[in-house]
Amino acid sequence: MRLLFEIGCEELPARAVYEAEAQLPGLAERELGRPPSQVYVGPRRLAIVVDGLEEQTGDEWIKGPPVALREQAAAGFAKRHGVAVEALEERDGFLGVLSRGQALSEVLPAQLDEILRGLRFGKTMRWDESGLRFPRPMRWTCARLDGAAVGEHGTTTWGHRFTHGEVELPSANAYVDVLRRADVEPDAAERERLIREGLDGLGEWRDPLGKLREVIHLVEKPLVIDGTFDERFLALPERVVETAMQSHQRYFPLGRNRFAIVANGGEPDVVRAGNEQVLEGRLDDATFTFERDLQAGIEELAARLGSIVYFAGAGTFADKAERLRKLVDRLGGGDASLEAARLAKADQAAELVREFPELEGSIGAEYARLAGFPEAVCAAIAEQYLPDSAGGSLPATEPGRVLAAADKLDTLIVSFSLGHKPTGSRDPFGLRRAAIGLCRLATEGGLTIPRELMPDDVDEFVEERFEGLLDVPVEFVRAARAAAVRDLGSVARLAQALAALPDERLEPIHTAYIRASRLGEQADAAPKLDPTLLAEPAEQEVANALEEVEPELTGALETADFDAAVEAGAKLGPALHRLFEEVLVMDEDPKVRANRLRLLLDVRETLRALGDLGQIPR
């Protein structure tokens, strides 16, 4: 049998629609034993179609105590299942109850109720005395099992809000047809197809702020039409025009002075004229605001930063700009990035950013450009928030990379110092994204970011991101993090160099490192190696190798040649291997023993420059 179940609501937010869409299949399967064959979601309805339901639920054998325990356990079991002791049956040596299947029509209303109440949403409300909570008021439910009604649920649905009222649903099969005849496209995928087709038909369309996902659930009957605005607004920066189109109005730019509207019906000419008027009003307003900002000019905007608090406890944006300049300086940034740091936050005082926060950075760059600053400065201001997502592109210019790194460093340092460390999935200040951005600027961006710029907790948090970012086992990242390298990029490259070393070459130095650590902790090593006590050739060989390797390794690290550093460390391998084969470290003579321990500890100290090899499991 086919079931249709629809929950009718006042217009749901798109987010809630997506939440329901994700949960309905699992809930249906849990309650009805079958996943839905269709899920229809949109602003006014959440519906499922479930096929292959049996008219009668199956009989179920409930196994009870063994027959042998009849005396002790039968009464309790029978009571629990609401039957008389005499009614218990015997099967394969056990007592039990045969629970008879029920007609689907009897159990279904309660199951549908469970589905409805099982939905969980991020934000819900009450609307009447029922106390029910849902993202927006629920106004009807409609259910059909083939052609039959289901319990108290209605058998009517509602068509398009303004062109059709309540419509009868004769059977579960008729759901989609009935709604389409009533100006509703219930299938979200089909609505998306219709919208895309409509937009494609209008030309090259763009969706820079990613509004399409929401728009699919803002309409039940998509009507895609184009509009135009007066060409004088093309004098505004393109980003401003596009943001005015998308941010509030959810229009799609079609290039030049054309835009696309996705409406929910109405007469195209009437709807077009109204929307054109609205957009021109917004652009007019943006022009006023833009011109007021320009009149002030970027220097004046920057001067106002002293009265705008950046973050409670972290001073004003003027303080932030000052910190950025210092960080840029420490990062080795040149004049362009220093100048960009000074002006980077000026647009926080711009009226246009108060109106459209998503314009921060790009509009500051525009104001700098119009004030005649060099392109390198303007580009850096525009690029300061990049990468703006985990996989987003990095700034294309060097000053942009330096400023972007400084901005992220400051955000992280300030947030941590105020105790806003991300916990679990909570990260309201986007610190994980900032840390990932910083790591990528160091690796892909080739920027030297000294570790000493960060307090320990920030440094640790940032470097932990490498564990997910680098294509090496996490233990190598952990090992490299303990190395005495000075900048973030070096940590990453050292981890990669360690991971690239073949196992058989890693093995001896790893063993030496571990053994030295273990023995060194147990026994007293000599404070200093005494070459005259090196009796065995094998230990002499290690000492010689160490003398050779030590400067080589240090030198390689200083020139950031990590492959060479790891190579140098690995050179100790054969000698160490022989040492472990031929020499008993714990010699009976305490002096010899202490000296050998010292030798091992010296080896460990040298290898330690490559990190904490003990992190690597063997």
Q: Which residues bind other proteins (CB under 8 A)?
A: 10-11, 13-15, 43, 123, 125-129, 135-137, 139, 161-163, 218-219, 223, 248-249, 261, 263-267, 270-271, 273-275, 277-281, 284-285, 288-289, 307-309, 312, 316
Q: Among residues 14 and 97, whose Cβ is nearest to other proteins?
A: 14
Closest distance to other proteins from the beta carbon of 32 (Å): 29
Closest distance to other proteins from the beta carbon of 202 (Å): 17
Q: Among residues 339 and 355, whose Cβ is nearest to other proteins?
A: 355
Residue recorded with tokens 């356990």: 73
500 close to 569: Cβ distance less than 8 angstroms: no
Q: Among residues 285 and 375, whose Cβ is nearest to other proteins?
A: 285
Q: Which residues make Cβ contacts (< 8 Å) with residue 521, sequence separation at least 6? A: none
Closest distance to other proteins from the beta carbon of 312 (Å): 5
Both tokens of residue 245?
Answer: 């189109």
Q: Among residues 316 and 411, whose Cβ is nearest to other proteins?
A: 316
DSSP percent split of the chain into helix, strand, coil, nearest 5? 55, 10, 35
Q: Among residues 414 and 600, whose Cβ is nearest to other proteins?
A: 414
Q: Among residues 307 and 393, whose Cβ is nearest to other proteins?
A: 307
Closest distance to other proteins from the beta carbon of 374 (Å): 32
- Which of 323, 329, 370 is closest to 350 using CA atoms? 370
45 close to 186: Cβ distance less than 8 angstroms: yes
Q: Among residues 102 and 163, whose Cβ is nearest to other proteins?
A: 163
> Buried b vs exposed e over 270-285: b needs ≥16 C-beta within 10 Å?
ebbeebbeebbebbee
Closest distance to other proteins from the beta carbon of 363 (Å): 18
Separation of alpha carbons 46 and 228, rounded Å = 35
225 close to 272: Cβ distance less than 8 angstroms: yes
CA distances from 174 to 9, 41, 157, 202, 593 (A): 20, 17, 11, 33, 90
Closest distance to other proteins from the beta carbon of 248 (Å): 8
Dihedral of the alpha carbons of 238, 241, 244, 245, in degrees to the nearest 10: -100
Closest distance to other proteins from the beta carbon of 324 (Å): 19
Closest distance to other proteins from the beta carbon of 344 (Å): 19
Q: Among residues 85 and 270, whose Cβ is nearest to other proteins?
A: 270
Paired residues of 9 in beta bridges: 138
Backbone dihedral angles phi then psi of residue 218, each to the nearest 5 degrees: -105, -5
Closest distance to other proteins from the beta carbon of 455 (Å): 24
509 close to 568: Cβ distance less than 8 angstroms: no
- Which of 370, 452, 447 is closest to 403 using CA atoms? 447
Q: Among residues 259 and 513, whose Cβ is nearest to other proteins?
A: 259
Q: Among residues 391 and 428, whose Cβ is nearest to other proteins?
A: 428
Both tokens of residue 192?
Answer: 């998306």
Separation of alpha carbons 360 and 264, rounded Å = 32
Closest distance to other proteins from the beta carbon of 274 (Å): 3
- Which of 261, 127, 140, 242 is closest to 195 using CA atoms? 261
β-pair type (148-149, 94-99): unpaired
Closest distance to other proteins from the beta carbon of 282 (Å): 8
Closest distance to other proteins from the beta carbon of 127 (Å): 5
Residue 387 preceded by cis peptide, ω within 30: yes
Closest distance to other proteins from the beta carbon of 225 (Å): 9
Both tokens of residue 127?
Answer: 């609307």
Q: Among residues 280 and 587, whose Cβ is nearest to other proteins?
A: 280
Q: Among residues 348 and 384, whose Cβ is nearest to other proteins?
A: 348
Closest distance to other proteins from the beta carbon of 266 (Å): 4
Separation of alpha carbons 365 and 344, rounded Å = 8
42 close to 152: Cβ distance less than 8 angstroms: no
C-alpha angle 609/614/615, rounded to 5°?
Answer: 100
290 close to 302: Cβ distance less than 8 angstroms: no
Length of the chain: 618
Q: Among residues 275 and 595, whose Cβ is nearest to other proteins?
A: 275
Backbone dihedral angles phi then psi of residue 356, each to the nearest 5 degrees: -125, 85
No. of helices (H) and no. of strands (E), the chain: 24, 13
Q: Among residues 248 and 518, whose Cβ is nearest to other proteins?
A: 248
Separation of alpha carbons 431 and 415, rounded Å = 8
